[in-house]
Structure formats: structure tokens, C-alpha cells
């Protein structure tokens, strides 16, 4: 039986100056293999020019793709996705990892409709309860106020980002959509967006339920000490016990025993219907100056020298940037033993 994989590639000359970052990403991949809602590493190899991570091909697309077509999600759907994301974040936090890049693009759906978080390039390891870090990073619309204020921060930034994402799912827009919508060019800048995040009072749509409004206000509290999920002793329990999540059986959910509210339509293992055609229709090239033929020849010459480390679980990482590489390389990965 054949198994479809995706391949995540990094050019070595771009990362040799930051080996610690590569080691962190690889270690998080390995750690994530132990959780159902996180992308895990299957195996990895290298050539003189690149590092490759071999990961499962996830067929359901990302939430950004689905949100662009549905505009907003029913509360039941948003609750389900937010609950699975919460379990994934809590697992990372228990392992001392801050995710730091939660956004619609990084939430993928598998063929059954369960979520998987992807892309660990901004993760921070070695964070114990009460520890903080200070690196300014993240996707602008999701950056927490404490990062923008230049404060040290911890796991709180992930719960803020979940609040932004949940707002987007329920309202069909960002809580900070005033940025970029003005005719004044001074109000269409990243600096103005950050000002809005720091100063704007977030308005909850009247169409949302009282429980939904409450959980959004909890996650989007600008003071991390008072934010939902951030209490040192009862952090995740405060989320699990919130009225918005009252209907969730957390144990059954983590075991994937709760049926997803939506199942992606798929006709085959290689069905691309859940991915934007502007990505899937592109020619397959690793870089503008490297052809697939050249790389394939390089692979054949170096095959005996590759050092592979197989992980015990073939969880998912999928990135649209590397999907076409996965399709082309599929036949060349049969030697992995699958």
C-alpha cells in the first residue's frame, strides 16, 4: 500500500547561520508526533544543498481556504476547532514549548475533519511555568499586546492568538479589521495595526451568543495576567470549564472519538480540491535555478549516504509552499520502506 507524503525543504546555505533554530524545529516535529492534533515528523534526510523533512500529506486544506469560502462558521464548528486547537496548544505548553504562530493558514484539516497545527518555525523551547522570553515575532494580526509593548512573555501569547482566530471563525473578519480598510495611507501600515491591537476596544458582534462573547473577551484580554488560560495554577482548566466549551467531552475529543462537524470532500488520495489553484497549478521547482531533474539525479547519487531517522508516528505537516514538491517526489520516496 502506498502512502502519500509531503516534503518540507530548507536550503542549507540559508540556515547554517542559525543551527539552533533548525534543531528546535526538528525537535518540535518529533515531540508533536505524540499528539493527534499536531504535525509530526516521519523522517528526514539531507543533500549537500538542502535539508528535507518527510511528513504526511494532509488532504483537507487549511482553515484560511475554508473561511474564504464560508465567510464565517457556525458556533458549533468554531467551538470544535477551538477545542482541538486548545488541546494541541496545552500539549505544547506542557512540553515547555510556546507555539507563537497560530493563524488560519497554520490550522489544517485531515481527511476526517480533525485539525492539525503546522509550521514550527517560530516555536520557543525550554519554557517552564513562570518563565518568559522576549523575541519580537509572530504574524502581525495575531501578535499579542505584551509582545508589542516590548514586555517579556510566556504561553499567554498563544491564548491571545487563539482568541483572534476564534473571533475570525465566528465573525468572519479580524477583530482588528479597521487596519487596512481606511483610505488614509497612514492607517494602512503595520505600525497602525499594532496601535489598533494595543488600544482598540474589541467589539463583539451582537449576533454571537453570550457564551461566545464571554470566551472571546477572556482570550482577548490585553492584560496577560487576566487572560483566559493564563492563570499559572488553573490555566487550561479555566478554558476547559468555560461555559462556551461546556458541551465538549475533552477526553473523548483528544482520542478523536468526537465526530467533526465538517468532513472535507475528497475523491482520492491526491484530490487537490481543498487547496487554492494558484498554488497547485504552479510549475514544480525547488528554486528558480534548480530543476526537478537535477535534484532527482542528486538524490540518486547520494541515496546510499543519506542518514534517515524514522519516527514512530507519521503525523502531519503540510505547507502549501512545498506541496508540489511532495507530489513530484512521491515515487522517489518509496525507498523509505512504505
Give the active site residues.
Answer: 101
* CA–CA dist 181, 73 (Å, integer): 23
What Å distances lie between residue 334 and 44, 192, 270, 313, 337, CA to CA? 14, 50, 16, 17, 6
> What is the bridge-based pairing of β-strands 5-11 and 50-56?
antiparallel
- Extract the C-alpha cell encoding 304: 546510499
* CA–CA dist 326, 329 (Å, integer): 5
* CA–CA dist 127, 125 (Å, integer): 6
Helix or strand (DSSP H, E) at 219? helix 210-219
* CA–CA dist 231, 238 (Å, integer): 8
The answer to whether 310 and 55 have CB atoms below 8 angstroms apart is no
Going by the DSSP 8-state scheme, the letter that residue 52 receives in this structure is E
List the Cα angle 51/53/58 in 5-degree steps: 145
Q: How many residues does the chain have?
A: 338
Helix or strand (DSSP H, E) at 211? helix 210-219
Residue 42 burial (CB count, 10 A): 26
Q: Which residues, in sequence order, are bridge partners of residue 51?
A: 10, 46
What Å distances lie between residue 219 and 16, 78, 318, CA to CA? 38, 14, 27
Amino acid at each position: 500500500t502506498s502512502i502519500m507524503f509531503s516534503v518540507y525543504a530548507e536550503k542549507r546555505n540559508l540556515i547554517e547561520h542559525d543551527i539552533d533554530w533548525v534543531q528546535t524545529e526538528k525537535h518540535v516535529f518529533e515531540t508533536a508526533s505524540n499528539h493527534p492534533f499536531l504535525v509530526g515528523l516521519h523522517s528526514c534526510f539531507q543533500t549537500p544543498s538542502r535539508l528535507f523533512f518527510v511528513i504526511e500529506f494532509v488532504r483537507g486544506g487549511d482553515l484560511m481556504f475554508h473561511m474564504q469560502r464560508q465567510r464565517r462558521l457556525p458556533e458549533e464548528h468554531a467551538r470544535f476547532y477551538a477545542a482541538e486547537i486548545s488541546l494541541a496548544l496545552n500539549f505544547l505548553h506542557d512540553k515547555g514549548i510556546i507555539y507563537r504562530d497560530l493563524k488560519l493558514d497554520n490550522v489544517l484539516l485531515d481527511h476526517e475533519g480533525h485539525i492539525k497545527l503546522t509550521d514550527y518555525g517560530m516555536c520557543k523551547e525550554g519554557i517552564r511555568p513562570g518563565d518568559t522570553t522576549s523575541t519580537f515575532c509572530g504574524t502581525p494580526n495575531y501578535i499579542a499586546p505584551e509582545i508589542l509593548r516590548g514586555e517579556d512573555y510566556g504561553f499567554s501569547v498563544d491564548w491571545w492568538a487563539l482568541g483572534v482566530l476564534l473571533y475570525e471563525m465566528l465573525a468572519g473578519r479580524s477583530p482588528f479589521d479597521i487596519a487596512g480598510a481606511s483610505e488614509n495611507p497612514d492607517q494602512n501600515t503595520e505600525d497602525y495595526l499594532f496601535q489598533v491591537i494595543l488600544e482598540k476596544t474589541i467589539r463583539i458582534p451582537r449576533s454571537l451568543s453570550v457564551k461566545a462573547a464571554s470566551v472571546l473577551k477572556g482570550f482577548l484580554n490585553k492584560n496577560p495576567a487576566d487572560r483566559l488560560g493564563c492563570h499559572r495554577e488553573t490555566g487550561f482548566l479555566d478554558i476547559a470549564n468555560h461555559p462556551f466549551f461546556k458541551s465538549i467531552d475533552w477526553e473523548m475529543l483528544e482520542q478523536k472519538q468526537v465526530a467533526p462537524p465538517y468532513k472535507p470532500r475528497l475523491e482520492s488520495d491526491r484530490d487537490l480540491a481543498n487547496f487554492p489553484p494558484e498554488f497547485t497549478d504552479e510549475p514544480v521547482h525547488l528554486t528558480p535555478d534548480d530543476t526537478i531533474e537535477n535534484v532527482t539525479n542528486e538524490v540518486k547519487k547520494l541515496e546510499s549516504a543519506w542518514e534517515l531517522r524514522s519516527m514512530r508516528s507519521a503525523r502531519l505537516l503540510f505547507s502549501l509552499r512545498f506541496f508540489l514538491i511532495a507530489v513530484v517526489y512521491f515515487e522517489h520516496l518509496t525507498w523509505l520502506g512504505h
